[in-house]
Chain A
Amino acid sequence: MEPLDVKNYRSLLKKYIDSEDETSLYQADQFSKLSIQQNISPEEIINVHIQALQELYPNLPKEIDLSMNFLLETMISYGLAYQEFQSLREKQGEIESELSVAANMQDTLLSTTKPEISGFDIGAISVPAHQMNGDYHHFVIDSSKNLGIAIADVIGKGVPAALAMSMIKYSLDSFPDSLRTPDVILENLNRVVERNVDTSMFITMFYGLLNPESGLLQFSSAGHEPGFYYCAKSDEFHEIKTKGIVLGVSESATYEQFDIQMEVGDMVVLLTDGVTECRVGDRFIEPDEMLDVIRKYMHLPAQEAVDLVYRHFERLQDFHLRDDFTLIFLKK
């Protein structure tokens, strides 16, 4: 069917007026869809209607003609609003594809490989709530074969958060091996963030350094969501207690360092608030409920376990994350 052809429209209209059949109405429906596809505005359709009407019934009273013109006039703004809507929709498509390019780039920039360390089993998962991830985790092995683990969360979301994370990653990479104890790393990062990041943006980070030989884990935290320590001997979870101010608030902040001696069967759980602040209906999940979920899966290989915990929480939240979700298991 030719869209907006007066002759076509006229015969369709005539057919309908003569027979009042459903087929013509169905064709009118097709016609209107076709017109939308071809960016034909409502006032043009009314104009075609007016012309067809005049051709079919040349002797219609003048009042009908005038009223049709009146209708046409009232449709002009609808036509404009529709065109604006179309152009905004195109723009939205462009923004979305730009964002997905940025998200891919972020994945590449911030990618980290989970190391294989004998005597340990590591699982890590990080899933953004939207396109860009405001969480960050990173593994690094230094020259003395120690494993550094960073987990961080930018308070603030989306693109700015992602940009800030790239900066954190490159600063971390640039610190020499001699400066690789958790307290010193956070102290240095704090200065970088304080100098370079907008005051409205805060970054929390937990940094741990594991000596795989001895099983000693040293760590410091800059206001990061506390993780958990599972002690196999007592079969209990303990919150990992730390203290330290978030990055970027005070220029001269220092960070206290703590340590844990890991024994066989023990496990360290690191996370961001996307895990602990998981919402079920209109309440937050209780810490004990969360630990029950972790306990349910922790006997599995670490990667499988974090994946299953994530799946569990994803389902709990109706497959709609409200916050970026990052979870790391370190099992001895």
Chain B
Amino acid sequence: MKTKSQVQINKEWDIVGARQMGRELAKEMGFGTVDQARIATAISELARNIYLYADKGAVTFEIEEDLNKKGLKIIASDQGPGIADLSKVMEDGYSTSGGLGAGLPGVKRLMDYFDIVSEPESGTTITTIKWVR
């Protein structure tokens, strides 16, 4: 069984909304304080990229239940310009903020699973999962 919820990202304030929804779900699912904070930070990065580079999009939450584990899946999707050079973007030290450790490589570190699909002109979808420990 999957539970779904979604936050639309249209303005900067929506980033906070997405963080809040993610944190509440994480709390309910039994994530510890540190993981809650990590999840919220990852959501921030993803939602902020949508707001900055694609103008609008959505962050969707799903609860993943495997036989023996439970996780929070976060999907950030938009129909923006897409990312041309994915391997560049995933390199440490590439983000425009330069060496602050955040950005997409940071999201990958914060979460347990990370996948990105992006086509120039047709948008970007980033899927991440954090498993409850």
Contacts and interface: CB of A to CB of B under 8 A. Distances in A.
B106 A84 contact: yes
A102 B111 CA distance: 37
A315 interface: no
A105 interface: no
A73 interface: yes
A83 B34 CA distance: 16
B72 to A, nearest CB: 16
A69 interface: yes
A80 interface: yes
Contacts of A80: 41, 100-102, 106, 109-110
Q: Give the bracket for the number of chain B residues in contact with chain A.
A: 10 to 19
Name the residue in A43, A80, A83, A91 with the highest tally of chain B Cβ atoms < 10 Å from its Cβ: A80
Given A80-B109, A87-B92, A72 B101 contact: no
**Interface residues of A, dominant DSSP:** helix
Contact of A73 (B37, B92, B109): B37
Interface in B68-117: 92-93, 99-102, 105-106, 109-110
A72 B34 contact: yes
Contacts of B99: 81, 84-85
Given A43-B37, A88-B92, A83 B32 contact: no
A167 B92 CA distance: 34
Interface in B13-50: 32-34, 37-38, 40-41
B23 to A, nearest CB: 10
A77 B109 contact: no
Q: Give the bracket for the number of chain A residues in contact with chain B.
A: 10 to 19
A43 B33 CA distance: 10
A47 interface: yes
A122 B109 CA distance: 59
Contacts of B106: 77, 80, 84
Interface in A45-85: 47, 50, 69, 72-73, 76-77, 79-85
Contacts of A307: none
Give me the 4 closest cross-chain CB pairs, A-B, nearest first.
A81-B101, A80-B101, A84-B101, A80-B106
29 contacts: A43-B38, A47-B34, A69-B33, A72-B33, A72-B34, A73-B37, A73-B40, A76-B41, A77-B41, A77-B101, A77-B102, A79-B101, A80-B41, A80-B101, A80-B109, A80-B110, A81-B99, A81-B102, A82-B101, A83-B101, A84-B92, A84-B99, A84-B101, A84-B105, A85-B99, A85-B101, A87-B92, A88-B92, A88-B93
Interface of A: 43-44, 47, 50, 69, 72-73, 76-77, 79-85, 87-88, 91
Given A80-B41, A84-B101, 6 more contacts: A47-B32, A76-B41, A81-B101, A83-B101, A84-B100, A84-B106
